[in-house]
Structure 1
């Protein structure tokens, strides 16, 4: 009897151990399943991020493709209209002379090569010109000139950055060379923003320093030329300064002898102040010449 009980106990212990092994295996399997699900979710999220990061580039390329298609369609339409404008052939294969009647003139001034090159936008005879050069000075003017050039010669917008970059020189060329890896695929607006951000700050600081120290150290005409150049460059950065500010700044920079005469006239605009300064300089020079004339008695005539 005791042997049977011991045998049953051993079997029960063995059964319990097997159940524990099964539970451990189930737990391990469940853990592996959870780890696999977490890894799958992480891989899916990484794939989603990678795909979404490509969306802007894909959309940009789609936009460029649409522009190219529209440009090609426009060129095809122009070619078709040009072909239709040629005189039709008669049944025997010869051109119909009635098509050349002086009462129905045809305009064949646009060539096929001009249409294919996109130069049909040019009106009239435009002489050949080089793309505006940029050496780091006045980036706003350079940007405006480039856009005018591209519009006149029908350069496609996707080529604006490359064409403009070929015409950088000096420090601007060195800067562009160092920035090329960061400028791959940028639009014209993004490119010009980078150029203006880099070269506007330094140039503006130089102009402000020159503006603070500007004063007449030679003739009035030379002072006017220097003052006018710095003023218009500053206005390119900010056009909110009032007119009387420039008038006051101009008068304060004149030599004392000339400034006193101009202040007495109270000029209301810059042109009047310049004219008064030139007139005052002429009067002072005339006075000096008169005092330098020596009378026959040896005395100076005042």
Structure 2
């Protein structure tokens, strides 16, 4: 009986030592994470990684004025995956426009103070109409 008691005491001491080591590791992790400065961008990535377990390595789709509906769908998916707030979306989109779309967005944003995402999408699709889909619809309507 005494031998079993000593074995139990030894196990208890080993578990206490293991617990102490784990607590020290947690404390060290907390100290190291609070002492390292983060910029706003890395803080956003840190929050994303904690929520999903990963940091996406996605490139934002460029827009040159062609196929606006497909580009808008890609942007929506990007915003969802990267958890981009609504008030930052138009600015992010404007940074990734090229060629004639870049010229249009520059003058568009200069003429307006505050642009909502829905208004921007409507104005963008009105300016850069998808000629292929219009032709398909017209051809379908002409069928007899």
Paired residues for 1:164-243 under 5 Å: 164-200=93-129, 203-204=130-131, 208=135, 234=136
Show structure 2 runs of 5+ residues with no match: 1-16, 23-32
Please give the alpha-carbon distance, in whole angstroms, between the structure 1 residues aligned to 2:65 and 2:56: 27
CA pair 161-121 structure 1, distance change in 2 beyond 3 A: farther
- Higher-RCO chain (CA-CA 8 Å, sequence separation at least 6): 2
The aligned residue for residue 215 of structure 1 is none
C-alpha root-mean-square deviation of aligned residues, in Å? Answer: 3.7
SS in 1 for 2:52: coil
Please give the alpha-carbon distance, in whole angstroms, between the structure 2 residues aligned to 1:205 and 1:115: 41
The aligned residue for residue 19 of structure 2 is 97
> Larger radius of gyration, structure 1 or 2?
1
SS in 2 for 1:135: coil
CA pair 121-204 structure 1, distance change in 2 beyond 3 A: farther
- Deviations 1:109-160, CA, capped at 9 Å, x for gaps: xx89799414248635454122111111111111111111111112111100
Contact 1:122 1:154 in 2 (8 A): no
TM-score between the two structures when normalised by the length of structure 2? 0.59
Please give the alpha-carbon distance, in whole angstroms, between the structure 2 residues aligned to 1:206 and 1:130: 27
Q: What is the number of residues matched between the two proteins?
A: 108
Query: Given the alignment, which residue of 49, 67, 72 partners 1:143?
Result: 72
CA pair 199-193 structure 1, distance change in 2 beyond 3 A: same
